Amino acid sequence: MENYRTRYEEWLQSDLLDDASKDELRAIADDEDELKMRFGSTMEFGTGGLRSKMCAGTNRMNFFTVAQATEGVARLIESLGEDAKKRGVMLGCDSRNNSAAFARRCAEVLTAHEIRCYLFDELRPTPMLSAGVRHFGCIAGINITASHNPSEYNGYKLYWEDGAQPTGDVASKVADFIRDSDVFADVPTPDMAKEEFITMVGSDFDEFFISKVMDEQVYPDAVKRDADELKIVYTPLCGAGYRIVPEVLRRIGVKHLHTVPSQITPNGDFPGLEKPNPEYPAAFKEGIRIAEEIESDLIIANDPDCDRVGVMARNAKGEFECITGNQMGSLLLDYIFSALEEQGKMPDDGYAVKTIVTSEMATKICEAHHVDLYNVLTGFKFIAEVIAEHEKRGEGTFLLGYEESYGYMKGQYARDKDGVVASMLIAEMAAYYELKGMTLIDAIESLYKKYGFYTENAAEIYMEGLDGAEKIAGLMEKLRANEPAVIAGSPVVNIRDYRAETSKNVLTGEVTGTGLPKSNVLYWACENGCVVVARPSGTEPKIKFYILANGADEAEAHANAHACTNSLEDMLGMPHDSLKK
């Protein structure tokens, strides 16, 4: 932190820094807190890459930090030899401001090292980047995106040769190479790029990707049979799904597809959207207006990089209701299994994967259909790891992977959450149930009747500012030091500390391993089946809390969720109803 002024002056004096950035920096010369925020540290290169606000500074997303990160990737690839350089890097971006220019800057750095680049000719959904790495046999991939963050953010996601984000070792090596380089002196300038090492990727690959997505239909005739009745409102929230998702929906037979005019065109300012996030009902405001006009029962929304999907469906009262990520995951699981069984196509060795913070209804559904279920840490890189292990052993048929934060994956062509295939499956599932006289809300209620009622609360505490990371670490230590014996009136029977890699059976005192990689996550399971999890976010300055509750009926489940939240607030020393729910 003490070097922040030195770093600031180095940037201000650099001949490489443009005049606009220098003016921006001069304007904050007397703002010590802002200088510390921008120059007191560098962005941490984790397994998911980088994410920050866009402005000048070592701890911010800009052309220099993007180029320095890419220099780290280039040096790692060079260390692997000429074959790795020839295999190359897949480059993509979303609709955010500067995304396309950042992706081009990545290509300049890589080609200066004579590393082959496959560069999309315009923005594409994130799963297409993952699929491209696999299709072209690349050693790596880089996607410029900040997912569903507000417009002032951008990010840098690294993928490795299997099409998944790397788990640990690769990211650590890249981080080391970044630290060993100077942001100005050691990074190739744009004039050092070698265009002959760039291959542009366009419509031919679109056709390949669309065909792979359509291969994942479960009931290919469902939409066509319901085509006259099925009406869908679609919005990409000004993002990368604007072209590919509507094309896929039309090709599977959707006749009545209505897009949201104010959100169908890519726009990094995300006009009218405070948060371009399909997890929030506010993002559906314009979609609901159109759905009411055309009498549609279904609204599908992707986030700006189109790796997530959110849905609103009409309930029995005629009102639009959000389907949560947990609910949609359970719906898709049950639909895929049931549809395959009805057609005599259910494999004997099928398996699914979810994260530890995802509803346990999945366990009940998989048990009922005799499907193996694997639980992993939060992040699709861990889901991809399970798939890769099965592939290596030549075992198992992958049926679905998902997490509660609105991400779903089906198929083997990509190894990341895929808002394109998920949108297609949701449309297909809606048609399947409509043919039975049911809405998706009806389908959820039928699952509750069969498996019991499951619900959740998602709470979070933001800790921004210079000491934010320190406060987050301190709060996690406080929770570790004060293990709860009871949550919401139910005894805690299992405590897992994924950082210590321990799982303690409270009843017997037996301590075993978690069986999962080390991670700063605390997990408390209660006798009544409710679960509370604490996990610092990997991309934002906050701690996330997951309350997974169940009950014999809706009232009991919601009461348990509320009581668990109150207990969590007691553990944190906070007044009841103070956590965001």
User: 486-498: per-residue pLDDT in tens?
Assistant: 999 999 999 999 9
Q: What whole-number percentage of the chain has pLDDT above 70?
A: 99
Q: Would you say 89 and 138 are in contact if contact means Cβ atoms under 8 Å apart? A: yes
What's the angle, vertex CA 465, arms to CA 463 and CA 470, rounded to 5? 60
Question: Of 274, 291, 295, which is closest to residue 235 (Cα–Cα)?
Answer: 291
- C-beta of residue 304 within 8 angstroms of C-beta of residue 94: yes
160-193 burial, b if ≥16 CB within 10 A, otherwise e?
bbbbbbbbeebbebbbebbeebebbeebbeeeeb
Looking at 3.40.50.720, 3.40.640.10, 3.40.50.10800, 3.40.120.10, the CATH number of the domain 216-451 comes to 3.40.120.10
Average pLDDT on 51-73 reads 96
Place 297 in a pLDDT band, splitting at 50, 70 and 90: very high
Each residue of 269-285: pLDDT tens digit? 999 998 999 999 999 99
Convert the pLDDT of each residue in 17-42 to its tens digit: 999 999 999 999 999 999 999 999 89
Q: What is the DSSP string of 240-274?
A: GGGTHHHHHHHHTT--EEEE-TTTSS--TT-TT-S
DSSP secondary structure, 119-166, as one string: EESS---HHHHHHHHHHTT-SEEEEE--TTS-TTEEEEEEEETTSS--
Please give the Cα distance from 127 to 124 (Å, whole number): 8
Alpha-carbon distance of 530 to 549, in angstroms, equals 5
pLDDT at 581 over 60: no
Residue 358 DSSP SS3: coil
For the residues of 200-225, what is the DSSP string, one character each? EE-HHHHHHHHHHHHTT-SSTTHHHH
Catalytic residues: 147
At residue 419, the 3 state secondary structure works out as helix
pTM for the full predicted model? 0.95
Domain residue ranges in the chain:
41-201, 216-451, 453-572
Does 216-451 match 41-201 at the fold level? yes
pLDDT of residue 2: 57
Domain 453-572: CATH superfamily is: Alpha-D-phosphohexomutase, C-terminal domain (3.30.310.50)
User: What's the confidence (pLDDT) of residue 48?
Assistant: 72
The strand ranges marked E within 356-452 are: 372-376, 397-403, 407-409
> What pLDDT is stored for residue 580 in this prediction?
58
Mean pLDDT of all residues belonging to the chain = 95
Architecture of domain 41-201: 3-Layer(aba) Sandwich (3.40)
